[in-house]
Amino acid sequence: MAFIFEMHSVSASYDTNTVLEGVDFSVDENDFIGVIGPNGGGKTTLLKIILGLLKPSAGEIRFNPDLPDSERIGYLPQISTGDVNFPVNVTDVILSGMMIRKRIFSRMSADDRKKAGRIAEELGLSGLERKALSELSGGQIQRVLLGRAIIGDPRLLLLDEPGNFVDSSFESDFYGKLKELNKRMAILMVSHDIGMISSHVKSFACVNRKLHYHPSSEISNDQLLAYGCPIQLITHGDVPHTVLKTHN
Amino acid sequence: MEGTIFQYDFIVKGLLGALFASITAGFAGTYIVTRKMVFLSGGITHASFGGIGIGYYAGINPVAGAAVFGVLSALGIEYLSINHRIREDSAIGILWAFGMATGIIFIYLTPGYSPNLMSYLFGSILTVTNADIIALGIMSVIFFIYFGVFYRTILYTSFDESFARTYSSGVDAFKYVTTSLIALTIVLNIRMAGVILVLSLLTLPPNIAMLFTRKYSLIILVSILTGFAGTASGYVISYFAGIPVGATIIFTLVIMWIIAKGITMLMLSGFSNLNPDCDRKQ
């Protein structure tokens, strides 16, 4: 199985504050990994290193040399309600995911537009292509941003707390869509909500300064504690594979 | 007939000034309003007053001094905010006051002739030179080319800078260039509207435009048109009423904004079913 990237003894720090230490981690094709851990534990820093926004203070990250730069990563960032008032429509947001393929001064071709239309249709956004973001619901905005992340056919999809903006009516759709996408790309999903993601991911990475990889979607609180990765478990009704801490 | 020649010159200068001011302010204003950079732009405006003072003192063109101050402070604020060295609003507040203080000190230190401070604070078309008009005209052309060529890049980096950063390493350079253009626009429009009022020349037209459209390129176009309508009519009114032009222009634009707001509120309450595309934000 081809790897997408490998990290070797990666550390990261802001000024004198070490956030990640000696992280060995790799993502292969078809992986679907949930990245969990407490706030401030280094989840976001890990994402920044993968995205190339932050240089490790020690160690290295190496991408598979067979992958062209432009096909590496699709990114779905956390969004805040402030951003969505920007005057931009659905098609333009999805198209912006093609930016890396374009020289800075070139325009979008008819093919690009067609592709944006197909993505919109695939994500259930037909008929909304010309709507401004501010006219959409939270779940619809989430889908638009997912469209932006996948239009470039990335080999790795990075999702940062996607649960924050998903409305419950779209939640199962959203994860169903991710499962489908996982057939053609690896997915790395950061979430503080292990209950929500445990039924969807194939394995876990627990990040709290160190990174512990857990090669199964079943994880117990004892294991989390052993990893030094205490997080709050939240369940949503009948979610399989979620183990709550037992009461003494 | 010296009077008519003077009048003719006055009208042509006024209209050309109004046109170029509206074009530059329409582009720059749409950028700063949608990116929520209005306070930053206020900082640039007032910081550039320091350059005006030093220009007077050193005997060089005050607008050139203001341009240097404006661009440097714009780059400084962007640098600080990109690198998170200091709270951005604090940095802006400091530069804001520093520029005003520097300007006032140097203007009072200038020996002999004391320039009319009021004309720089509140604007005066009488002090607008042909060179100013030409500079504004060139700036207008630059904006058409810049936005024409880099439209998508401007749109995408404005909408989601951190996302753009994951795809391109050129985002910072791009921001520096665009902010410099904004600073130059502000400085060149100071003669028209004055240090205190120029910001409204940039922010009011896009705010009127955004009541009617959520399309970025249309916001620019409508901003230019409303800007020109407000600037030209404010200019004419000020001429006949004998009141300061900068204040009249801003007053006219605010009235236009109130009327536009009233129209959209009426449309929302009365005909909301007929107008699904207009401002649906709560």
Flag whether A199 is in a domain: yes
How many domains does one find in chain B? 1
Flag whether B76 is in a domain: yes
Flag whether B272 is in a domain: no
Is A100–B150 a contact, with Cβ atoms under 8 angstroms apart? no
How many domains does one find in chain A? 2
Is A104–B170 a contact, with Cβ atoms under 8 angstroms apart? yes
Angle at which helix A138-150 crosses helix A110-122, to 10 degrees, equals 130
Tens digit of pLDDT for each residue in A89-140?
Answer: 999 999 988 875 555 555 677 888 899 999 999 888 889 989 998 888 888 8
Specify whether A41 is located in the same domain as A163: yes
Flag whether A137 is in a domain: yes
Comparing alpha-carbon positions, the chain B residue that sits nearest to A100 is B167
Mean of all residue pLDDT scores within chain B: 86
State the nearest Cα–Cα gap between A247 and chain B, in angstroms. Answer: 43
Specify whether A49 is located in the same domain as A102: no
Q: Give contacts of B156 with chain A, Cβ < 8 Å.
A: 92, 96, 99
B217 touches chain A (CB under 8 A): no
Comparing alpha-carbon positions, the chain B residue that sits nearest to A148 is B163
Which among B201, B196, B191, B162 is positioned nearest to B24, based on CA atoms? B201
Which domain-ending residue is among A136, A153, A170? Answer: A153
Asked if residue A41 lies in contact with residue A229, where contact means CB atoms within 8 angstroms, the answer is yes
Flag whether B228 is in a domain: no
Residue A234 reports pLDDT greater than 90? no
Over range A74-102, report the average pLDDT: 81
Which domain-ending residue is among A92, A121, A153? Answer: A153
Is A105–B156 a contact, with Cβ atoms under 8 angstroms apart? no
Confidence of residue B182 (pLDDT cuts 50, 70, 90): very high
Which among B248, B243, B250, B210 is positioned nearest to B227, based on CA atoms? B250
Residue B90: which CATH number? 1.10.3470.10
Flag whether A20 is in a domain: no
Flag whether B259 is in a domain: no
Flag whether A22 is in a domain: no
The boundaries of the domain holding residue A41 are 29-56+67-72+154-248
Question: What residues are paired with A7 via a beta bridge?
Answer: A25, A61
The boundaries of the domain holding residue B110 are 2-199
Specify whether A130 is located in the same domain as A172: no
Tens digit of pLDDT for each residue in B25-76?
Answer: 999 999 999 999 999 999 999 999 999 999 989 988 888 999 999 999 999 8
Tens digit of pLDDT for each residue in A26-55?
Answer: 999 889 998 988 888 888 899 989 988 888
Is B156–A99 a contact, with Cβ atoms under 8 angstroms apart? yes
The pLDDT assigned to B262 comes to 94
Tens digit of pLDDT for each residue in A158-168?
Answer: 998 877 665 66
Specify whether A165 is located in the same domain as A244: yes
Tens digit of pLDDT for each residue in B130-168?
Answer: 888 999 999 999 999 999 988 988 998 899 888 888 877
Specify whether A112 is located in the same domain as A164: no
Q: Give contacts of A83 with chain B, Cβ < 8 Å.
A: 159-160
Q: Give contacts of A95 with chain B, Cβ < 8 Å.
A: 152
Interface of B with A in 158-197 (CB under 8 A): 158-160, 162-168, 170
Q: Which residues contact A22 (CB under 8 A, 6 or more apart)?
A: A9, A10, A11, A59, A210
Asked if residue B237 lies in contact with residue B248, where contact means CB atoms within 8 angstroms, the answer is yes
Of B155, B163, B170, the CB nearest to A75: B163
Flag whether A39 is in a domain: yes
Residue A187: which CATH number? 3.40.50.300
Over range A141-154, report the average pLDDT: 90
Flag whether A16 is in a domain: no
